[in-house]
Structure 1
Amino acid sequence: MRAGGYDCDVVVVGGGIVGLSTAYAITRASPGTRVMVLEKENGPARHQTGRNSGVIHSGIYYRPGSLKARFAARGGAELVEFCAEHGIDHAVTGKLIVATERDELPRLHALVQRGRENGLTVRELGPTQISEYEPEVRGLAAIHVATTGVCDFVGVARRLAQDSGAEIRYGARAAYVDRRPDLGVAVRTDDGTVVRARVLVNCAGLHCDEIARLTGDEPQVRIIPFRGEYFTLARPDLVRGLVYPVPDPAFPFLGVHLTRGIDGSVHVGPNAVPALAREGYDWRTVRPRDLYSSLSWPGSWHLARHHWRYGTGEISRSVSRSVFTRSVRRLLPAVTADDLIPSPAGVRAQAVLRDGTLVDDFLIQEGPRTVHVLNAPSPAATASLPIGREVADRALKALAAG
């Protein structure tokens, strides 16, 4: 027990890139503030942070004025500087967004306008110019966004942990929370250890709604897990950089894309399907409690009714390599089923409202002595430094008020 009966001033639940960035930002904004991070795994960034395509996003897709739009461009530039300063692998490659069908052209032109509204330099390309960037890619038109890149997000998370000045406890799953607005917050971990803090920050990702309810706050959303399935391209020479399809604005996923990583390999994906567990990285992993949580939420059924056609296509690509290959061939005609080598999947923590609405922006809610990050989808890793400052600012205000 430390002075005043508290083990720390702020306890952060979750050791992914957002939680670690928050701890890092708190200690920089308020030196001397005692921060502790509780992470249930034996190291940082084991879930969403460490299981994605590693892309530093530009912010072209996001609604002007949204937190995503505000944080993505700023966060991407800061992240590149952070990586350069600390010797973390990264590259600014630029990317193509390619229209392969005529009905995609209006959406592509709308992206040009949106990108410019978000302060980005966007170059419009015809078929010949596409070939100059990507000789094997085919399309009717495309746009080039120069500020997109790739980096080692796990390396970033480790450096944030190292430099945060926080006490980080791995293998510490938050099992119970006792919040008393007049006194503070006590978190009991699986091994019976109790951590007492003045303020709790919830950055628990796939479990953030559960942690919010443990504190006594009602998040009004449910995390519905979607698995993103990836392949590695056996012939990486087919792709030079990053190639994306034109996204469907009715659904929050970007579609199957091609990403050359910092190690030179090319990832293909993700395919997005409902996961049968919050950490369900394959069809064999089923957790009844998680499945019940998804199926008992009215928003899941509203979502299924509204997007059943899209969902059916995603599932068909998941169970059939040939169907998945056909979707890739729209962008990259030379690819064959034999070129696709299964790779580790990721799971996205998608917040869904009771009426089935997919929460599209970052969602941060506050309660007495609590700050909850309830939706931090892509580009959360890209925007982790400004998101961390935003959450840290709210935590420090709660600390001052208490």
Structure 2
Amino acid sequence: MSGTVVVVGGGLVGLAVAHALVGRGREVVVVEKEPDWARHQSGHNSGVIHSGLYYRPGSLKARLATEAARTLPEVCAEWGVTARRTGKLVVATRTEELPRLHALHERGLANGVPVDLLSPAAAREIEPHVACVAALHVHSTGVCDFPGLARALAERLAAAGAELRTSERVTALDRGHGRVRVVTDRGEISATHAVVCAGLQADAFLAPAARRQVRIVPFRGEYWTLRRPDLVRGLVYPVPDPTMPFLGVHLTRGWDGEVHVGPNAVLALAREGYRRRDVDPREAADALGFAGLWRLGRRYAVTGAQEAWRSLVPPAFLRTVRRMLAEVSAEDLQRRPAGVRAQAVLRDGSPADDFVVRGGPLVTHVVNAPSPGATACLQIGAHVAERLLARAAL
């Protein structure tokens, strides 16, 4: 045993990093500020196992998500977690979307994703109520009980001897003399290395110079439940805007059988701002004081205004849904709890389009791991662990 590693954050990525390190013989302590696991991004999402379709070929997102889609349902079956491979349709509802649909098909093939182009008639055999001019059928997409996966990881960690500490907030990381002192609101932990997997708070422990170059910007995603779940058999997505990190409003029959509709993406005024009225003045000022956010806003002003309009005006949201599912009425939609995406934004105003892992000899930071972070959590954990071992950091 070469020393203790402290993992800061008990979402899926943090637990998976800990799992990978324990599996490589390391002594691990996981510190989570909430009273239970997966309380934020990991437990507030659409529950989709992403296929790797959308991501830049060769990127971490593409490689790790594609592998995860192949393996996660079987891992979940072994661990007693509900998951299944359902497939999904990506539908073009207008002819002007066809070039983007074909480009997405080519990207999927480049990433090794099993995907087919379908005619409208073939698409209707899979989703009879969905309208389109063409579609992609993505075979490896699925759904998963991600909070259940987090619980399973925590149980395996406990059984392997890891120390799991909840309701404990990390307040500082002090480096010196070849060790890192993890300061919490309950005391201190001396470690050979710390891995920060803090999601919505991921940039809080970056050095000031690094933090001037990147900031976590929270985007609230609002969901609805479809009262007529018989209208959707599986998963239906629109053709995404390739310049945005969000996939657009989609229809998801989740692992629990409910059909979720959403999300949109609006700027949240608190890192954990799940409701419109949630405002944290300090966090809002921090975001608004970052030049990258203003550059992002100018770059995507029209798109941002459309997202805000759909958030505030339910008929506008309904019109977006009806492009894919014309039979839906206002009475068919019921609001459900929102999620918040921790999106890393660079100083130049561009959203980080890949997983971002940075670190030195004492601290590693998982700076950006939003969707498909839940899907690829086990692969991210292995990637971080191997990165540390390769650098002889432990």
State the TM bucket, normalised to the shorter chain: over 0.9
Does the aligned pair in 2 maintain the 1:209–1:219 contact within 8 Å?
Answer: no
Aligned to 1:37: 30
Match of 1:207 among 198, 201, 204: 201
| Matched residue SS, 2:263 | strand
Report the alpha carbon displacement of residue 105 of structure 1 after superposing the two structures with TM. Answer: 0.3
Report the alpha carbon displacement of residue 395 of structure 1 after superposing the two structures with TM. Answer: 3.0
Aligned to 1:124: 117
Are 1:12 and 2:4 counterparts?
A: no
CA distance in 1: counterparts of 2:278 and 2:113, whole angstroms: 41
Does the aligned pair in 2 maintain the 1:201–1:395 contact within 8 Å?
Answer: no
Letter in 2 for 1:175: T
Report the alpha carbon displacement of residue 323 of structure 1 after superposing the two structures with TM. Answer: 0.6
Q: % of aligned pairs identical?
A: 56
| Matched residue SS, 1:139 | coil
Q: Give the CA RMSD over aligned residues.
A: 1.5
Does the aligned pair in 2 maintain the 1:54–1:150 contact within 8 Å?
Answer: yes
Moved over 4 A (4+): 216-219
Aligned to 1:279: 272
Aligned to 1:293: 286
CA distance in 1: counterparts of 2:261 and 2:393, whole angstroms: 48
TM-score (structure 2 length as normaliser): 0.96
Aligned to 2:93: 100
| Matched residue SS, 1:120 | coil
Aligned to 1:170: 166
Aligned to 1:226: 219
Structure 2 spans left out of the alignment, 5+ residues: none
Are 1:261 and 2:254 counterparts?
A: yes
Report the alpha carbon displacement of residue 259 of structure 1 after superposing the two structures with TM. Answer: 0.1
Letter in 2 for 1:208: A
| Matched residue SS, 2:337 | coil
Deviations 1:178-232 (A, max 9, x none): 111x3311112123x1111110101000001002238x86572100000010000
Match of 2:299 among 294, 306, 309: 306
Does the aligned pair in 1 maintain the 2:212–2:347 contact within 8 Å?
Answer: no
Deviations 1:331-379 (A, max 9, x none): 0000011111111111000001111011000000012311110000211
CA distance in 2: counterparts of 1:78 and 1:207, whole angstroms: 29
Report the alpha carbon displacement of residue 328 of structure 1 after superposing the two structures with TM. Answer: 0.2
Structure 1 spans left out of the alignment, 5+ residues: none
Aligned to 2:189: 195
TM-score (structure 1 length as normaliser): 0.95
Structure 1 44/116 Cα, relative in aligned 2: closer, same or farther at 3 Å? same
Does the aligned pair in 2 maintain the 1:204–1:211 contact within 8 Å?
Answer: no
Are 1:21 and 2:9 counterparts?
A: no
Letter in 1 for 2:93: T
Report the alpha carbon displacement of residue 313 of structure 1 after superposing the two structures with TM. Answer: 0.5
Does the aligned pair in 1 maintain the 2:193–2:393 contact within 8 Å?
Answer: no
Are 1:328 and 2:321 counterparts?
A: yes
Mapping for residues 150-169 of structure 1, pairs under 5 Å: 150-164=143-157, 165=160, 166-169=162-165
Does the aligned pair in 1 maintain the 2:92–2:238 contact within 8 Å?
Answer: yes
Aligned to 2:52: 59
